[in-house]
């Protein structure tokens, strides 16, 4: 078992402030209409839960689970859906909610995939826009926090499925 430490990066209160700001923008941008929110499992579940409780527009919530092909930890860009959404998005405003955009390959593929169902609009909301390893340009319409790099866990983000339950964001640092 590899040893590592968790170093605090973003406090819970700071996260909640960023969510307040995002929610103000989303409520304003979608005023007078309604939204289908698609959370990308598993990472987005906490961010989504905290976000939807701040929205005053009518929302419907659905989930997709996306997985990269292959066993390598590096994203390959080839994505498959292991649990699909159940709502129809035709002619609807769609907001995809992600915990983190890293290489961008997952969200780029999914955006492209959803277009075949002819939604009225599609936007992306990500708690963390981590840009150092970005491989494809993706529009992140609502980004909570921009960070250059770091192996992050907490608030939905995992390391081998652990630490998703931490209320803040931590950086994994491996012992030398």
Asked if 23 and 51 touch (Cβ cutoff 8 Å), the reply is yes
Active site residue 158: no
Q: Which of residues 132-171 bind Mg ion (CB under 5 A)?
A: 158
The residue from 91, 99, 102, 112 that is catalytic is 102
Whether the bond into 163 is cis, omega within 30 of 0: no
104 binds Mn ion (CB under 5 A): no
CB atoms within 10 A of CB 5: 10
Tokens of 152: 């992050």
Binding test (CB under 5 A) with Mn ion, winner from 43, 104, 154, 156: 43
Stretch that binds Mn ion, among 24-32, 37-45, 141-149, 156-164 (CB under 5 A): 37-45
127 binds ligand PRP (CB under 6 A): no
Tokens of 65: 């689970």
- Distance between CA atoms of residues 54 and 72, nearest Å: 37
Binding test (CB under 6 A) with ligand PRP, winner from 22, 23, 43, 95: 43
Q: Which of residues 7-26 bind ligand PRP (CB under 6 A)?
A: none
Q: Least separation, in Å, of the C-beta of 140 and ligand PRP?
A: 10
172 binds ligand PRP (CB under 6 A): no
Q: Which is nearer to ligand PRP, 116 or 160 (CB)?
A: 160
Q: Put residue 101 in one of left, alpha, beta given phi > 0 → left and psi -120 to 50 → alpha.
A: beta
Binding test (CB under 6 A) with ligand PRP, winner from 51, 97, 100, 122: 100
- Distance between CA atoms of residues 87 and 20, nearest Å: 27
93 binds ligand PRP (CB under 6 A): no
Q: Tell me the CA distances in angstroms from 87 to 10, 40, 41, 151, 167, one per residue in order.
A: 34, 14, 16, 33, 30
Contact positions vs Mn ion (CB under 5 A):
43
Q: Where do contacts with Mg ion occur on this chain (CB under 5 A)?
A: 158
């Amino acid at each position: 078992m590899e040893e590592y430490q968790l170093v605090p990066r973003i406090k819970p209160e700071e996260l909640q402030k960023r969510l307040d700001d995002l929610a103000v923008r989303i409520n304003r941008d979608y005023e007078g209409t309604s939204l289908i929110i698609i959370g990308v499992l598993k990472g987005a579940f906490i961010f989504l839960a905290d976000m939807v409780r701040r929205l005053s527009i009518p929302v419907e919530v659905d989930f997709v689970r996306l997985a990269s092909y292959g066993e390598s930890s590096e994203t390959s860009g080839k994505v498959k859906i292991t649990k699909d959404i159940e709502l129809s998005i035709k002619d609807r405003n769609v907001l995809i909610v992600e915990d983190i955009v890293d290489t961008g390959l997952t969200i780029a593929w999914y955006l492209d995939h959803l277009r075949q169902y002819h939604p009225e609009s599609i936007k992306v909301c990500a708690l963390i826009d981590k840009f150092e390893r970005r491989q494809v340009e993706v529009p992140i319409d609502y980004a909570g926090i921009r960070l250059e790099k770091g192996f992050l866990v907490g608030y939905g983000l995992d390391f081998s499925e652990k630490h998703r339950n931490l209320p803040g964001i931590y950086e994994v640092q491996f012992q030398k």
